[in-house]
């Protein structure tokens, strides 16, 4: 049985639409099922997502890349989850630290925690470049603590680490749950005045960072800078804090056009 493209007369339309999305659209059919090629593509994407979840973070290699950013040698900590399998079964253990005694407490405006999360691959692919963009954007305005690499980590582990670091705002870079379109997407969670016990309502999230298809490093860094500035004025982060960077950029563009 031949493999039929959806709406053969409109195949050019589907080809054009596929350029603007990673979603699986216009896949065609073979009888009552998908074409073999599309089934194999799906299985390949599913395998990549599973691999991204289970692969361990190459800590030593990643630490070298992080140190090159120039804000200090990273300290490596882990959660109470003793293995990747336990981390996946017990999210609660990923939110609590095992031992933070290796972190030297200071007095800093911003601290960065680089966490493997549900996609260590995302942290390996984008973590050091994203950190570099953040440091470039923030270092002229804020004091920055030496970075911390956290393994088997959930977002809330950053609150414990931030308390040990002595920072007023913590920025957690973490591998996001892989999907069937993207297996290496990075997320950023920002918490102002962090402390153990903070909830997700106290944080701001920037997700889908994986250039060139997703959000870029510089754009993400500008959003973080806007959120930090807003949090310091407001006295808190979370649901009460909104990102104004896009509106400010639009206003600047309109002003230049008028001039």
Per-residue pLDDT of 4-34, as tens digits, reads 555 454 677 787 887 777 777 888 878 888 8
pLDDT score for 7: 46
Token pair of 228, please?
A: 């930090």
User: Which has the closest alpha carbon to 71: 124, 108, 125?
Assistant: 108
Pairwise CA distance, residues 225 & 232, whole Å: 11
Token pair of 148, please?
A: 């911390």
Pairwise CA distance, residues 173 & 158, whole Å: 10
pLDDT score for 17: 82
pLDDT score for 253: 47
pLDDT score for 230: 96
- Find where tokens 């393994």 sit: 151
Over the chain (259 residues), the average pLDDT of each successive run of 10 is 50 78 79 85 86 90 97 96 95 96 96 96 96 97 97 97 97 92 93 95 96 94 96 95 70 50
pLDDT score for 4: 52
Half-sphere exposure of 193 (CA within 13 A, CB side): 10
pLDDT score for 81: 96
| Distance from the first to the final alpha carbon of the chain | 63
């Amino acid at each position: 049985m031949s493999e039929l493209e959806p709406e053969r007369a409109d195949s050019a339309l589907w080809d054009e639409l596929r350029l603007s999305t990673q979603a699986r659209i216009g896949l065609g059919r073979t009888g009552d099922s998908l074409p073999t090629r599309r089934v194999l593509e799906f299985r390949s994407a599913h395998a990549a997502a599973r691999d991204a979840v289970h692969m361990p973070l190459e800590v030593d290699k990643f630490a070298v890349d992080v140190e090159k950013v120039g804000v200090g040698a990273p300290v490596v900590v882990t959660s109470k989850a003793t293995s990747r399998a336990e981390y996946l079964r017990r999210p609660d253990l990923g939110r609590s630290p095992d031992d933070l005694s290796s972190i030297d407490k200071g007095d800093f405006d911003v601290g960065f925690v680089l966490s493997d999360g549900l996609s260590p691959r995302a942290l390996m692919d984008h973590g050091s470049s994203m950190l570099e963009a953040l440091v470039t954007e923030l270092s002229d305005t804020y004091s920055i603590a030496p970075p911390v690499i956290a393994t088997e980590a959930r977002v809330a582990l950053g609150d414990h680490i931030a308390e040990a670091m002595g920072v007023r705002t913590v920025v957690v870079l973490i591998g996001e749950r892989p999907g069937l379109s993207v297996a290496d997407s990075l997320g950023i969670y920002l918490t102002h005045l962090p402390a153990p016990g903070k909830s997700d309502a106290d944080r701001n999230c920037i997700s889908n960072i994986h250039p060139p298809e997703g959000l870029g490093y510089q754009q993400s860094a500008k959003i973080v800078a806007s959120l930090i500035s807003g949090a310091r004025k407001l006295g808190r982060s979370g649901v009460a804090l909104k990102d104004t960077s896009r509106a400010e950029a639009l206003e600047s563009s309109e002003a230049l056009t008028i001039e």
